[in-house]
């Protein structure tokens, strides 16, 4: 499901991941809520939820 940035409450990384098809909007919202509740970063929540590995995340960032 592609996110519509004009109607989506998501911003930044969460919205980009939904638009890229890496997360559903519901997954992104859940991860953001967990991130806020536990006072951790969204990236940490993504890795903890096994949505991506830290290594895969870093390799992707190096390729940009």
In the chain, what are the domain boundaries? 12-62
Please tell me the distance from the alpha carbon of residue 45 to that of residue 38, in angstroms, as a whole number.
Answer: 9
Residues 8-54: pLDDT tens digits?
A: 688 898 998 898 888 899 999 999 999 999 999 998 998 888 887 76
Quick check: pTM over 0.85? no
Cβ atoms of residues 20 and 9 within 8 Å: no
Q: Which residue has the higher pLDDT, 1 or 58?
A: 58
| CA torsion, ordered 12, 15, 20, 24, to nearest 10 deg | 140
């Amino acid at each position: 499901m592609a996110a519509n940035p004009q109607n989506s409450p998501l911003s930044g990384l969460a919205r980009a991941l939904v638009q890229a098809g890496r997360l559903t909007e519901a997954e992104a919202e859940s991860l953001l809520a967990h991130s806020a509740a536990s006072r951790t970063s969204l990236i940490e929540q993504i890795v903890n939820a096994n949505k991506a590995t830290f290594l895969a995340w870093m390799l992707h960032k190096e390729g940009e």
